[in-house]
Chains A and B, each alone.
Chain A
Amino acid sequence: TQLLEQSPQFLSIQEGENLTVYCNSSSVFSSLQWYRQEPGEGPVLLVTVVTGGEVKKLKRLTFQFGDARKDSSLHITAAQTGDTGLYLCAGEKRALYSGGGADGLTFGKGTHLIIQP
């Protein structure tokens, strides 16, 4: 069962344009992470959002966690060719019985982003 739906699956835009990638779920997560993966490498963490409604900015990237902690978005302003890559969201459900230990991340299928010069 795919708990996290990412959209769009593929996106190709011109350099300088803005874009938004979405990550949606019917489940509530204790936190949500965004990763970027380049070909031949493992994913690299961009940001973690924890609080419902939280907004975090990383230069031209803006991440938002939904108020109900079920969804998130990634907005890129003035995209650059270096932004090209696979963007993954991952939700964490913290196990209630362990006093805080996580029981794993669930990943979305990813958004393949291509920024054309």
Chain B
Amino acid sequence: EAQVTQNPRYLITVTGKKLTVTCSQNMNHEYMSWYRQDPGLGLRQIYYSMNVEVTDKGDVPEGYKVSRKEKRNFPLILESPSPNQTSLYFCASRSQTGDNEQFFGPGTRLTVL
């Protein structure tokens, strides 16, 4: 089954404790991205990657890092989480050809205390 998976789905952590949210897709998509979704602000792009070893900042990259060492994986790293990073995070992937349909993961709800 074609899908985007994220782990963990839920995470409660404390300020300053480094964490990684993993994202994996099995569709051989070149393009992957991370979004955060907040009430009243909608979906905002954090980082995106157009292919392996190619990443770029989205609209709200501060406080986040990403890496794209393999095509299927695109982890999101919070080196020193802060409470304002409490949010719902979505990973997404899509092909660069065809109709560019973007597939979203199920979301990771992060709470930083």
Q: Does B53 have its Cβ within 8 Å of any Cβ on chain A?
A: no
- CA gap between A98 and B96 in the complex, in Å: 11
| B interface SS class | strand
Report chain B residues within 8 Å CB of A45: 101-103
Write out, one digit per residue, whether chain A residues 57-101 have a CB within 8 A of any chain B CB (1) or not (0).
000000000000000000000000000000010101000001011
Number of A residues near B (Cβ < 8 Å) is: 25
The residue of chain A having its C-beta at the shortest distance from the C-beta of B99 within the complex is A48
Determine which residue in B42, B45, B90, B107 has the highest number of CB atoms from chain A within 10 A of its CB, and name it.
B42
Q: How far is the CB of A27 from chain B (nearest CB, A)?
A: 14
Q: How far is the CB of A58 from chain B (nearest CB, A)?
A: 13
Determine which residue in A42, A45, A98 has the highest number of CB atoms from chain B within 10 A of its CB, and name it.
A42
Kindly state the interface size class of chain B when it binds its partner: 20 to 34
The residue of chain B having its C-beta at the shortest distance from the C-beta of A109 within the complex is B42
Q: Does B92 have its Cβ within 8 Å of any Cβ on chain A?
A: yes
- CA gap between A44 and B103 in the complex, in Å: 7
| A interface SS class | strand
Q: How far is the CB of B108 from chain A (nearest CB, A)?
A: 10
- CA gap between A101 and B40 in the complex, in Å: 30
Report chain B residues within 8 Å CB of A109: 40-42
Q: When the two chains form their complex, are residues A43 and B96 in contact, meaning their CB atoms are under 8 A apart?
A: no
Q: Given A40-B107, A104-B48, does the pair A48, B101 have CB atoms closer than 8 Å? A: yes
> What would 6 more interface pairs be, CB under 8 Å, given A88-B43, A106-B59?
A42-B92, A42-B104, A43-B90, A43-B104, A48-B99, A104-B45
